[in-house]
Amino acid sequence: MLHSKHFAVAAALFALMFIGMAATRPPDDRAKNLKVLPKDISHEDLDKIMDSWKAALGVKCGFCHAPSADSTSHHLDFASDAKPEKNIARHMYKMTGRINKKFFSFNKDDKGNMLPTITCMTCHRGNPHPDEVK
Ligand code: HEC
Ligand code: HEC
């Protein structure tokens, strides 16, 4: 009897925990403001791309992403377009895609998928300003 009571309490606590988790999680975990990347991109793929851009330019996430409008939060507001660098990056992404398509479309894997020959790294090489001679 005591045993099953404990079980019921534990089960109720568990249920509350899950309801709590569901309530605190944003209704939609997916990116809200994608204009050049596929809207249904997985969280994992988005992370990979963001990491590669960060490395290619030798910057931190905050180079393109504005701080949260809530000054008590130390997080970045990833969906915001307030920093001009973010829009330049979109432009660069489209340009890079066009260069590959137009000039390197012969570069395909054995399934016929185009391989991205030119990447952000090709020009940037860890520098946000590849046009500035060092
Ligand atoms: C070179 C600029 C740049 C850097 C550096 C960068 N991002 Fe982004 N990020 C973008 C752009 C541009 C988009 C929007 C892409 C689009 O419009 O499809 C984006 C979108 C996102 C989104 C989706 C936001 C939404 O809800 O729409 C997340 C999350 C994100 N970035 C996280 C990161 C993280 C984490 C880092 C650091 C590891 C990072 N970004 C570094 C340019 C950048
Ligand atoms: C063909 C060469 C080339 C490629 C490929 C390229 N960039 Fe650029 N990028 C440049 C040049 C050159 C500049 C400087 C332009 C200027 O200052 O007028 C620049 C500037 C930028 C800036 C603005 C930096 C600032 O402080 O104003 C961002 C952001 C950027 N690139 C992101 C990217 C991302 C992300 C990619 C890959 C998706 C990429 N670039 C691919 C050549 C390139």
Nearest residue by C-alpha to atom 28 in ligand 2? 89
| Contact in structure between 85 and 49 (CB atoms under 8 Å) | no
Nearest residue by C-alpha to atom 18 in ligand 2? 131
User: Could you give the CA distance from residue 118 to residue 50 in angstroms, rounded to a whole number?
Assistant: 17
Q: Is the CB of 48 under 6 A from ligand 1?
A: no
Pocket residues for ligand 2 (CB within 6 Å)?
A: 53, 57, 85, 88-89, 92-93, 96, 118, 120, 122-124, 128-131
What is residue 118's predicted lDDT score, i.e. its pLDDT?
Answer: 96
Q: How confident is the prediction along the chain (134 residues), in pLDDT tens digits per residue?
A: 556 666 676 676 666 665 555 555 455 578 999 999 999 999 999 999 999 999 999 999 999 999 998 888 889 999 999 999 999 999 999 999 999 999 998 888 899 888 889 999 999 999 999 998 66
Q: Which among 115, 122, 117, 127 is positioned nearest to 54, based on CA atoms?
A: 127
From the CA of 129, how far away is ligand 2's center (Å)?
A: 7
Q: Which among 94, 112, 93, 101 is positioned nearest to 49, based on CA atoms?
A: 93
Q: Which among 117, 87, 112 is positioned nearest to 101, based on CA atoms?
A: 117
User: Could you give the CA distance from residue 131 to residue 122 in angstroms, rounded to a whole number?
Assistant: 13
Q: Two tokens at 64?
A: 């393109």
From the CA of 125, how far away is ligand 2's center (Å)?
A: 10
What's the angle, vertex CA 98, arms to CA 92 and CA 103, rounded to 5? 125
| Contact in structure between 77 and 67 (CB atoms under 8 Å) | yes
From the CA of 130, how far away is ligand 1's center (Å)?
A: 20
Q: Two tokens at 48?
A: 């990979």
